[in-house]
Amino acid sequence: MRVVLQRVSRASVTINNKVNAEIGDGLLILLGIEEEDSGEDIKWLCSKIVKMRIFSDESGIMNNSLLDINGDAIVVSQFTLHANTKKGNRPSYIKAAKPDVAIPLYEEFVQVLEKELGKPVGTGEFGADMKVDLLNDGPVTIIIDSKRRE
């Protein structure tokens, strides 16, 4: 399971010209799911995400977590995070989980993140054509892969 965290001042997800979710200060989380991902990956990632100290304290040093600032989050499923670009110019998405595996894991990820964060989390819609708008704060962008924990 792979995530791209973007620290934002604001973010929103629009589907069919309708805003599905929007937040102020917090994280936009792009989530890529592979076939072999499990609940263990979800628990580890969600715990890591909410405790990641990437928000500035009163001295301007990144010492605060999403929990510390009572920030919000939006989770957007993005299978393209598992693109293989080694051969040719057309990415292969063979490692990305198929919907029958990915959808339940995506939904579980959102539920676990909500529990860790203690409040609702905004979402996109799995498989939909979404427009994601964000103001990256910093910019701060972090990539975390649950298969590379060392």
Q: Is 111 a catalytic residue?
A: no
At residue 86, φ and ψ (nearest 5 deg) are -70, -35
- The catalytic residue among 6, 79, 109, 123 is 79
* Residue owning tokens 């905004």: 122
Neighbours of 120 (CB within 10 A): 12
Cβ contacts of 36 within 8 Å, gap of 6 or more: none
Among candidate residues 6, 14, 55, 78, the one labeled active-site is: 78
Q: Is 78 a catalytic residue?
A: yes
79 is catalytic: yes
User: 3-state DSSP call for residue 93?
Assistant: coil
Q: Do 121 and 110 contact (CB within 8 A), yes or no?
A: yes
- Crossing angle between the packed helical segments 99-117 and 39-51, to the nearest 10 degrees: 40
Is-contact 126 33, C-beta < 8 A? no
Single out the catalytic residue among 6, 14, 55, 80: 80
Just list the catalytic residues: 78-80
